Amino acid sequence: MKAKIKVTLKNGVLDPQGKAIEGALGSLGFSGIEHVRQGKYFEIDLKNTDKAKAKAELDDICRKLLANTVIENYEIELA
């Protein structure tokens, strides 16, 4: 089973990388950009074929390693 996970900063948390990209895009001549937020994206192949168990395991994985839940949200998509 394949899982796709997005980890993004919570609203209100400063995103220096996003700001840097906004600046770079401006200097490259892209004037139509309002905001840029950068996050992390993971694709995980799991041996588990039981969706409920896989979801629980992935929640655990996100909380323990992939996301800092104080400042980040995570979103799990199971394919």
Positions that interact with a copy of itself (CB under 8 A)? 6-8, 18, 21, 24-25, 28, 30, 32-48, 54, 57, 60-61, 64-66
Shortest distance, position 59 Cβ to a copy of itself, whole Å: 12
Residue whose CB is less far from a copy of itself, 18 or 78: 18
Q: How far is the CB of 70 from a copy of itself (least distance, A)?
A: 19
- Token pair in block for residue 5: 């996970």
Q: Are 18 and 35 in contact (CB under 8 A)?
A: yes
- Whole-angstrom distance, CA of residue 69 vs CA of residue 75: 12
- Report the residue number, 21 or 70, with the smaller CB distance to a copy of itself: 21
Backbone angles phi, psi at 2, to 5 degrees: -110, 135
Tell how far CA 3 is from the center of its chain.
13
Q: Closest CB to a copy of itself among 53 and 70?
A: 53
